[in-house]
Amino acid sequence: MTRCADAPWPGDGADAPSPWRWQGQPQSWSRAGDSLRIEAPGGADLYNLPGSYEADSLPLLRRPVEGDFTAWTRITVEGSAFGDAAGLALHGEDGWLKVCVERTRAGGWAVVTVLSRPASDEAMGPALDGPAADLLVTREGRRHAVFYRQQPQEDWRFVRTFLGFTAPQLQLGAFVQAPFSPSAAARFAPLRLSPVPLGDRR
């Protein structure tokens, strides 16, 4: 992938400078070199299925992205309960997307996506060997797609695509959730951004 650059996380012990902003407060967060660790409090989640389950308490570190882009980072989750997860989110005026490394009911790990416009459509994707993976989101016009890989040297593998988010500017975020546990945490490697969208690899 060409024309990529690190998008540095905010500095440790200070409010997130532009372009990063917190939406919701984490239990704690810290930076060590190019790695960011976020800890979410118990009950932290973002989901919208009226009459079934609704939550809007996700600690999200977000920044604006404009036009076509590709963003990816490596995520390692520190959690042991079902639903403990961490990942990337996209917010637009007409909905939002979460893609995460998540603990399953069976005790394993998987790539999970939730697309909400406004009700949440959840899908469990590929199973993972453990609580770590590279996650990628890309946009080309109104085409959005999600990819993953378990190891950095592997090729990107397709997870899902959708047509959506009409506004040119979106909010890209990193998050941790702990919907059914006292807390969960995750480490994020450098976030890399490119203005070049990743092509269809299905």
- Residue 89 gets the label, from left (phi > 0), alpha (psi -120 to 50) or beta, of beta
Question: Which pTM value belongs to this model?
Answer: 0.94
Assigned domain for 6 exists: no
Assigned domain for 8 exists: no
**How far apart (Å, rounded) are the C-alpha atoms in residues 91 and 10?**
20
CA 157, chain centre distance (Å)? 16
- The number of folded domains in the chain is 1
Assigned domain for 118 exists: yes
If pLDDT is split at 50, 70 and 90, which confidence band does 134 have? very high
139's tokens: 């946009």
Assigned domain for 48 exists: yes
DSSP 3: S
Q: Containing domain of residue 155, as a range? A: 21-192
Assigned domain for 157 exists: yes
Residue type, 58: L
Assigned domain for 201 exists: no
Give residue-wise pLDDT tens across range 38-79. Answer: 999 999 999 999 999 999 999 999 999 999 999 999 999 999
- CA distance to 54, 89, 158, 199, per residue, from 110 (Å): 22, 16, 14, 23
Mean local confidence (pLDDT), 78-96? 95
| Residue 172 and residue 63 in contact, taking contact as beta carbons nearer than 8 Å | yes
Assigned domain for 32 exists: yes
Assigned domain for 101 exists: yes
Helix and strand totals (H; E) in the chain: 0, 18
> For the domain that residue 184 is a member of, what is the CATH number?
2.60.120.200
Length of the chain: 202
Query: Look-up: residue for tokens 């989901």?
Result: 47
